Amino acid sequence: MTSLATRLSGPADTTIFERMSGLAREFGAINLGQGFPELPEPPELIAAAQAALAEHSNQYPPMRGLPRLRGAVADYYARTQGLELTADNVVITSGGTEALAASLFALVAPGDEVVLVQPLYDAYLPLVQWAGGVAKVISLTPPEWTLPIDALAAAIGPKTRGIVLNTPNNPVGTMLTRVELEAVGALAEAHDLWVLCDEVWEAMVFDGTPHISPLAIPSLAARAIKVGSAGKIFSMTGWKVGWAVAAPELAAKIAGRHQFLTFTTPPALQWAAAEGLALPDAWFDAQRALYGGLKARLVLGLEGAGFAVLPGSATWFITIDLAASGLSATDAVLAERLVREAGVASIPVSAFYAQAPETGYLRLCFTKNETVLDEAVARLAKFRAQRD
């Protein structure tokens, strides 16, 4: 008989994010590892949540989410991405994470093969495995991180049921193009696959690249699930209000899983998220300008200190190319040294790889105030100068 401990042990017991944050605390380092803002939080959203706590019921809201928020999500995507949706397409979940879990538990049956694309966000692999699925992992091609369609086609076999995509990509900040998504659509149609697309970073695009959801691609509209997150859109990662958006029959299946994962999501935060999504475009533009300014500051500072920063359109992260920066160690080794010796925590991009984990890239989060970013640059510059 297998021991209980063996049966309980599984993948991803402690994430790299927790580990690096722990080291940052231990060594008093600036934490550019885990992705969360240390900036003033949007007062409009805080006020809306406070008012909702006082004015609305705090009992179980409807299982699929407040109709008001489901409608607001549909309207927001009509306005920002030209998608034609109604509340029937939307299931509100406790964060994007739960939307991913509910979707995979709805879609994956034991033995199903699912194609994952690395670098990959750490939740995908354990969720596929917990659903009984078998992951087939392919890799984006650095340094542009393009999607290799040939490798994707080759990974699809008779047992393949779906593909998990992430655009904009965490960790590397690049975005799938319409051409790439159309190629995915052709494969999905030919092999009758679903496509789960994690789009939680869709509002954090700084260079004007249009965000394209698989839901906007005709061949994918009926077979794609889009995952979004209010925590990311409003820069409050603790809020854990997210959603899955899909064709009504698919959305109903996902709601069936959400029912037994968390059942509902705190109603006050749902009311507030609904108000937030209806804020004028100027509010979202100002958020982007704020975060884009911080990104530019970190990139310029690092480039000035001799680091090679890879181009990226979106997310709260930038990626350093270590070899091109004159640093020869692998990313995992360098991340450990930087937190201990330079006092800056980062995340090695290899942590986002299920296979072939040695890479030469580090991820840094820029959502900190300017003083913190400048101090981090000074520390990194000193570390690099000592190695020259």
148 prior amide bond cis, ω within 30: no
Give me the amino acid identity at 101: A
In whole angstroms, the minimum distance from the beta carbon of 58 to ligand PMP comes to 21
The β-bridge partners of 197 are 165, 226
Cα gap 136→268, rounded to integer Å: 40
Q: Which stretch binds ligand PMP (CB under 6 A): 57-65, 235-243, 320-328, 355-363?
A: 235-243
Name the one range near ligand PMP by CB under 6 A: 92-100, 173-181, 212-220, 349-357.
92-100
Q: Which residues of 30-57 are buried (b: 16+ CB within 10 A; e: fewer)?
A: bbbbbbbbeeeebeebeebbeebeeeee
Q: How far is the CB of 121 from ligand PMP (least distance, A)?
A: 4
Please enumerate, as own/partner, the contacts of 177-182 that have beta carbons within 8 Å and a separation of 24 or more.
177/212, 178/212, 178/217, 180/146, 180/147, 180/149, 181/212, 181/214, 181/217, 181/220, 182/217, 182/219
In angstroms and rounded to an integer, the radius of gyration of the C-alpha atoms of the chain is 21
**CA gap 45, 202 in Å, rounded:** 19
* Residue 200 near ligand PMP by CB under 6 A: yes
Q: Residue 97, interface with ligand PMP (CB under 6 A)?
A: yes
Q: Is 266 in the site for ligand PMP (CB under 6 A)?
A: no
The answer to whether residue 242 forms part of the interface with ligand PMP (CB under 6 A) is: yes
One of 96, 119, 348, 360 touching ligand PMP (CB under 6 A):
96
- Of the listed pieces 95-103, 143-151, 189-197, 294-302, which binds ligand PMP according to CB under 6 A? 95-103
Using CB under 6 A as the binding rule, whether residue 103 contacts ligand PMP is answered as: no
Q: Which residues pair with 180 in a beta bridge?
A: none
State which residue has the least CB distance to ligand PMP.
95
Identified binder of ligand PMP from the candidate list 139, 167, 174, 229, rule CB under 6 A: 229
Q: Which is nearer to ligand PMP, 33 or 242 (by Cβ)? A: 242
Asked if residue 237 binds ligand PMP (CB under 6 A), the reply is yes
Q: Is 94 helix (H, G, I), strand (E, B) or coil?
A: coil
Q: How far apart are the first and last CA of the chain?
A: 57
Alpha-carbon distance of 318 to 314, in angstroms, equals: 9
Query: Residue 31 or residue 166: which is nearer to ligand PMP going by CB?
Result: 166
Does residue number 15 form part of the binding site for ligand PMP (CB under 6 A)? Answer: no
198 binds ligand PMP (CB under 6 A): yes
Does 202 participate in binding ligand PMP (rule CB under 6 A)? no
CB under 6 A: which stretch of 22-30, 57-65, 91-99, 332-340 binds ligand PMP?
A: 91-99
CA distance 331 to 33: 13
Whichever of 133 and 168 has its CB closer to ligand PMP, that residue is 168
DSSP labels, 235-267: T-GGG--EEEE--HHHHHHHHHHHHHHTS---H
145 sits near ligand PMP (criterion: CB under 6 A): no
8 A C-beta contact, residue 27 and residue 336 = no
CB of 69 or CB of 327, closer to ligand PMP: 69
Q: Which of 227/342 has CB closer to ligand PMP?
A: 227
Sites of contact with ligand PMP (CB under 6 A): 35, 95-97, 121, 166, 170, 198, 200, 229, 231, 237, 240, 242
